[in-house]
Amino acid sequence: MRENWVRRKLLKGEVSIGSWVTLEGTLGAEVMANAGFDWLVIDMEHGPMSLSQAQGSIAAIRTTETIPLVRVCWNETDLIQQTLDIGAFGLVIPMVSTRAEAEKAVKDSRYPPLGERSRGGMRSRLAFKTDAGTYGRQADNEILILTQIETREAVANAAEILSLDGIDGLFVGPNDLASSIGQWPLVWDNQVPELAEAIARIPVLARDYHKISGIMVPNAAIARRCIALGYTFIALTNDAALLEQAARRELAAVTEG
């Protein structure tokens, strides 16, 4: 059975760098995977991608050593179970602000006795290069489940969420968290104290519970700052943003050089 080496790396406390896939079609996913990221999150929340498009991107990514993850568009049973059934190696689940919401995510993403995920489908076990029985026994040890911290309420309840079996860690959505706190747009170098304290607090709590802390960052400099804070799951911007930045940079080099 193919192992989720990224999950193992993260649970050992090591830093893992990935990015977001937002472009439709599989070419973007293939390019990003071959660039050497540890993992890629296919974005079904803000991408947005259909289930069939996500399925194609997962298949493209898993031709490499890169681990394919998906951000579902909401904490809903059908969205979570179908996404796992098409072969995702893990999920980022948005807008989870309470222990009860996190418990629902566990129920839908983990097999009994920990959860109530339904058994079935072929692509999930094909993605892990195994048979249905082995996948059914081992999936909970391979699939990475991160819930997003995007509100004041979520920050307040972070310890309760981290305490749950089945939740591997927390992922900070800095833009929505900044909006919830009242600082929009987010300015990384001029954060209000409440936002700065919240961002600093999550990796400390995650370490206390031997769990993972992740965050989305716009560039390498902010990535290094967040790693220094203790974050280990670093989402280095996304495919569309990287394409735009490269296009603008090269055009400026010609027209302004």
Which of 25, 27, 35, 46 is catalytic? The answer is 46
CA gap 221, 223 in Å, rounded: 5
Query: Is 210 one of the catalytic residues?
Result: no
How far apart CA 219 and CA 113 sit, in angstroms, is: 41
Token pair recorded at residue 105: 């995510």
What is the separation of C-alpha 10 from the centre of its chain, rounded to a whole number of angstroms?
12
Residues 6+ apart with CB under 8 A from 141: none
Catalytic residues: 46
